[in-house]
């Protein structure tokens, strides 16, 4: 297998830079959507002054808003995780053959990636805080036994050295509840018990 040509390396670097910019645009779009939803929720009166809305319809409205916000929360979380992966030490340590041969300095876009990752982390924390303030419980628990009412097992794997058998070891997709009402079950991976 031969080493990639200078043109192939330049093309690959260009593709990576385009991906960083694309994720930045996606983060901005997700932030705008989240802010729009949050503004609409905050503009909505907490209770009907004339007493027109019953407790049930207020609860139904809250459930509809939460169902609308969950995909935004998922998108923000995925973007934050991807941006964090771009700034991980092992991602930054990977240098192309051309960079190593020419002893080129690290590209300066690592600061842009770090800023993007931090911005998305803050946006995600703000969205989670707002959901918490609205009485929404986000279920990302690991290390606990499965709760069949709140979690759905999507994978069972052999336990790793630090994991207890029969417990949740990873949350694939968080769950959401508004009070006692489960809006979406958490999708989880559990460590297999012996004999499974």
Asked whether residue 116 falls in the same domain as residue 25, the answer is: yes
Asked whether residue 39 falls in the same domain as residue 73, the answer is: yes
Is the pLDDT at 177 greater than 60? The verdict is: yes
pLDDT > 90 fraction of the chain, expressed in percent and rounded: 20
Instruction: State the average pLDDT over residues 12-31.
Output: 68
Instruction: For tokens 């994991």, name the residue.
Output: 163
Write down the pTM of the prediction.
0.55
Q: Which region among 2-6, 150-154, 173-177, 182-186 has the lowest average model confidence (pLDDT)?
A: 2-6
Instruction: Look at residue 141 and give its three-state secondary structure.
Output: coil
Find the CATH number of the domain harbouring 145.
Answer: 2.30.22.10
pLDDT at 51: 46
pLDDT band at 153 (very low <50, low <70, confident <90, very high): very high
Asked whether residue 26 falls in the same domain as residue 82, the answer is: yes
Asked whether residue 115 falls in the same domain as residue 180, the answer is: no
Instruction: State the average pLDDT over residues 76-91.
Output: 70
Considering 108, 134, 160, which residue would you say is the last residue of a domain?
134
Q: Residue 24: which of 103, 113, 110 has the closest Cα?
A: 113
Most confident of 93-97, 110-114, 163-167: 163-167
Most confident of 10-14, 62-66, 79-83, 141-145: 141-145
Choice between 19 and 129, residue whose per-residue pLDDT is larger: 129
Asked whether residue 8 falls in the same domain as residue 83, the answer is: yes
- The span from the CA of 167 to the CA of 188, in Å, is 10
- The span from the CA of 59 to the CA of 181, in Å, is 10
pLDDT at 53: 47
Is the pLDDT at 117 greater than 90? The verdict is: no
Q: How many separate domains does the chain show?
A: 2
Asked whether residue 121 falls in the same domain as residue 32, the answer is: yes
pLDDT at 176: 92
Q: Residue 185: which of 143, 154, 144, 164 has the closest Cα?
A: 154
Choice between 190 and 93, residue whose per-residue pLDDT is larger: 190
pLDDT band at 144 (very low <50, low <70, confident <90, very high): very high
Tokens describing residue 123: 């946006």
Q: Residue 40: which of 56, 13, 60, 61 has the closest Cα?
A: 61
Asked whether residue 40 falls in the same domain as residue 97, the answer is: yes
- The span from the CA of 189 to the CA of 57, in Å, is 35
Asked whether residue 119 falls in the same domain as residue 145, the answer is: no
Note down the domain range covering 130.
1-134
Considering 134, 152, 179, which residue would you say is the last residue of a domain?
134
Asked whether residue 30 falls in the same domain as residue 5, the answer is: yes
Strands (E), the chain: 136-139, 151-157, 168-173, 175-178, 181-184, 186-191
Question: What average pLDDT is seen over the chain?
Answer: 75
- The span from the CA of 55 to the CA of 58, in Å, is 5
Asked whether residue 107 falls in the same domain as residue 17, the answer is: yes
Instruction: For tokens 């606990």, name the residue.
Output: 144
Residue 155: φ, ψ to 5°: -160, 145
Asked whether residue 94 falls in the same domain as residue 145, the answer is: no
Asked whether residue 95 falls in the same domain as residue 21, the answer is: yes
């Amino acid at each position: 297998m031969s080493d990639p040509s200078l043109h192939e390396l330049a093309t690959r670097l260009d593709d990576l830079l385009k991906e960083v910019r694309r994720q930045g645009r996606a983060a901005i779009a997700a932030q705008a959507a989240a802010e729009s939803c949050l503004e609409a929720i905050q503009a909505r009166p907490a209770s009907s002054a004339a007493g027109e809305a019953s407790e049930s319809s207020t609860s139904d409205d809250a459930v509809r808003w939460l169902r609308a916000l969950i995909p935004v929360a998922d998108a923000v979380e995925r973007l934050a995780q991807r941006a964090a992966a771009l700034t991980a030490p092992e991602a930054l340590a990977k240098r192309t053959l051309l960079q190593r041969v020419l002893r080129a300095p690290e590209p300066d876009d690592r600061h842009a990636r770090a800023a993007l990752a931090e911005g998305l982390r803050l946006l995600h924390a703000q969205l989670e805080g707002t959901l918490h303030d609205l009485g929404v419980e986000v279920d990302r628990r690991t290390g606990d036994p499965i709760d069949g009412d709140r979690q759905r097992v999507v994978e069972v794997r052999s336990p790793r050295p630090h994991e207890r058998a029969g417990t949740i070891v990873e949350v694939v997709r968080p769950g959401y509840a508004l009070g006692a009402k489960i809006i979406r079950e958490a999708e989880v991976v559990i460590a297999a018990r012996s004999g499974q």
